[in-house]
Amino acid sequence: MSRFVIGYFYKEELNLYGDTGNVDILAWRAKERGFDVEVKVVGTGTELRAADMQELSVLFMGGGADSGQKKMYEDLINTKKKYVKDYILSGGVGLFICGSYQLLGKYYKSADGSLLEGLDIFDYYTQHFGHDKRRSTGNVVATINKTLLEDVCFKQNNRIGDTLVGFENHGGRTYLGKGLAPLAKVTLGFGNNGEDYTEGLYYKNTICSYLHGPILARNPHLADFLIARSTSTDKLKELDDTLIISAHTASKKLEQ
Amino acid sequence: MFLILSFGTKILYWIIKTLGLGAGLTWPGHLVLKLYPNIPGDPAVKFSKGLVLVTGTNGKTTTSKLIATVLQKKGFTVAANSSGANLVNGVVTAVLISYRGRAFDYGVFEVDEAALVSVLKYLNPTHVLFLNLSRDQLDRHWEPDLLLDKWVAALKELTTLPRVITDVAQEEFEVLDQFSPLHFSGTKPVELKGNEVYYKDSVVGTTVLTGPFNEKNFNAALVCLQNTGVEIKESVELLANVGFAFGRGEKVVLGGKNLAFFLAKNPASFNTNLIYLSAQKDVDTFIFVLNANIPDGRDVSWIYDILPEKLAQACAGKKIYVTGSRCLDMAVRLRYAGLIILAGNVSPDIKKVVRDVLEDPQTRNITVLPNYSAMLEVRKILLGRKIL
């Protein structure tokens, strides 16, 4: 049996909005396809080696409360930055939600003007404009990036269509630099910044997004893309997704 | 002015109840606050002996019920929002409805954790009981840390600092230590049987209120009551036969079937209920009811913080029905916990699902796990009334 290893980064510190569900869902769907699934939790204090990164099928990182982010930030910058950066740039498969998405950019400027440096892997920044500006909260429907839709691992396993659904809840607004592609374009909701309709980021095999729900719960096509790509399988065995497809369809009719 | 408003509210409440328009426990207060924003400062809204506010994520309704019951049984006049309408408007409605022409001895109100700050702008309590704080309705409250900061700031603004009571086991509550709080749940007897209640390290009596949270709720109420001058022994005696608050372990027999309601509105309450339910071997049917209305929080992501192994354990081999406006999300969550969900048992139509369950000859002991607005709907369908 082939192994399927999920590297769950900062499980304790970054798990505010049910994002643990993403790891459970990946594990479940991979197991159903006969993979030997293992979840490796990487936290503050875990000593990483290059070999640990090489055996990862998917790297997952969620978002956290301020206190949680404070606890893991130094550890990430000081001991894991290089590994995460190399992993992403060399085409490792990864899913980064909300707070961790913000951390991969240049910086996060908080409401009081203070600057938190990011990993600077990508040319984007996030700014919080203060509590007077409306927080980006609500249901989201978005149209998936065409390149991703046409990717063989996505296309072959896609029984949903070209939409993503979820729930966003973020104070910071993210602005992508030129040359970066969003994961999707919102048709309902704020997305990255409430201005340019972009939502998330898609780069090589890295998916970044503001969507909770958790994102993989009602978007099985995205979950299967991550599994198919990381295991180099074009077409995964079909699962009985009747309920999940209904849940996705029903979500498209929700109000923001 | 107060008398007129109180009289008006009672009439309005009666009309709403009689016509079945709702519970009538929030919007009379809402209306009155618009007409007469100073109402909480009115001399009639006085609590001559004490004003107790109970807040936290879980246990508010039960704990405030215990405290109010003891004070009422001791003959005091008590204003309380025992229905669980716990925002500013609910508190005002409760005061107006229970007004009997003279100032109250006590007020005992449960207050929504995010509404505490606005309630403290109107009222200066003598006691604030902080039960616990965990994730609930993050789209409304944002994050627990932010809430704690707001509580501290609001307490500091008060003219007279109330007696703060906290659960010493909740690490997050350390920031409240600056108010020299009284603690509950600090020590407890090594061995505690299901129906025993304790104070410090000794067993002090028994209760009919068994179940997951109630051990702490009971202890919190005793500590608070003792500080208002009621001896532990007396409180325990007065509470010996006090049953569940509505929807919190409440049991009902309907058409020869036993129904039990367990409010499951956030990961902490869900997980605790599941641990309790895993041990209830006679349960044969579960009805999960999930809504995402404003009082529930509109984000359903939290259902993935329900521990999958606990779900699997409690539900293994039982019939499962799923309803509520977000039934499909719940059904998917249950499936990812490894349970088999029949598509025919999933429908947003709560009435239909309830009928199916009651008509099914194989169901006998039915456990209903609804979140907040879902519980009101289910109760309305099953019992003809939303609240008490």
Predicted confidence band at B25 (pLDDT cuts at 50, 70, 90)? low
Q: Which of A128, A153, A170, A212 is catalytic?
A: A212
Please indicate if any CB of chain A lies within 8 Å of the CB of B143: yes
Report d(CA B303, CA B331) in Å as an integer: 11
Please indicate if any CB of chain B lies within 8 Å of the CB of A67: yes
Predicted confidence band at B90 (pLDDT cuts at 50, 70, 90)? confident
A182 to chain B, minimum CA–CA distance in Å? Answer: 23
Predicted confidence band at B4 (pLDDT cuts at 50, 70, 90)? confident
pLDDT at position B22 = 57
129-168 in chain A: CB under 8 A from chain B: 135, 137-139, 167
Q: Kindly list the residues from chain B whose CB atom is less than 8 angstroms away from the CB atom of residue A243.
A: 328, 331-332, 335, 341, 343, 346
Q: Do A24 and B328 touch (CB under 8 A)?
A: no
Domains and CATH numbers, chain A: 3-251 (3.40.50.880)
Mutate to test the interface with A, among B321, B332, B371 (most CBs of A within 10 A): B332
Question: What percent of chain B has pLDDT above 90?
Answer: 49
Question: What percent of chain A has pLDDT above 70?
Answer: 100
Please indicate if any CB of chain B lies within 8 Å of the CB of A256: no
pLDDT 10s digits, B195-216: 788 888 888 888 877 766 788 8
Q: Do A17 and B331 touch (CB under 8 A)?
A: no
pLDDT 10s digits, B219-247: 999 999 999 999 999 999 999 888 777 66
Please indicate if any CB of chain A lies within 8 Å of the CB of B304: yes
pLDDT at position B211 = 67
Q: Kindly list the residues from chain A whose CB atom is less than 8 angstroms away from the CB atom of residue B302.
A: 17-18
pLDDT at position B227 = 94
Please indicate if any CB of chain A lies within 8 Å of the CB of B145: yes
pLDDT at position B250 = 84
When the pLDDT of each residue in chain A is averaged and rounded to a whole number, the result is 95
Least confident of A121-125, B153-157, B196-200: B196-200
What is the CA B201 to chain-centroid distance, rounded?
Answer: 27
Does the structure show a pLDDT above 80 at B51?
yes
pLDDT at position B208 = 79
Predicted confidence band at B16 (pLDDT cuts at 50, 70, 90)? low
Structure tokens of B273? 């209920």
Report d(CA A212, CA A189) in Å as an integer: 13
Higher-confidence residue: B204 or A6? A6
pTM for the predicted model, two decimal places:
0.82
Does the structure show a pLDDT above 80 at B331?
yes
A208 is catalytic: no
pLDDT 10s digits, B123-144: 899 999 999 887 766 655 556 7
Predicted confidence band at B24 (pLDDT cuts at 50, 70, 90)? low
pLDDT at position B33 = 75
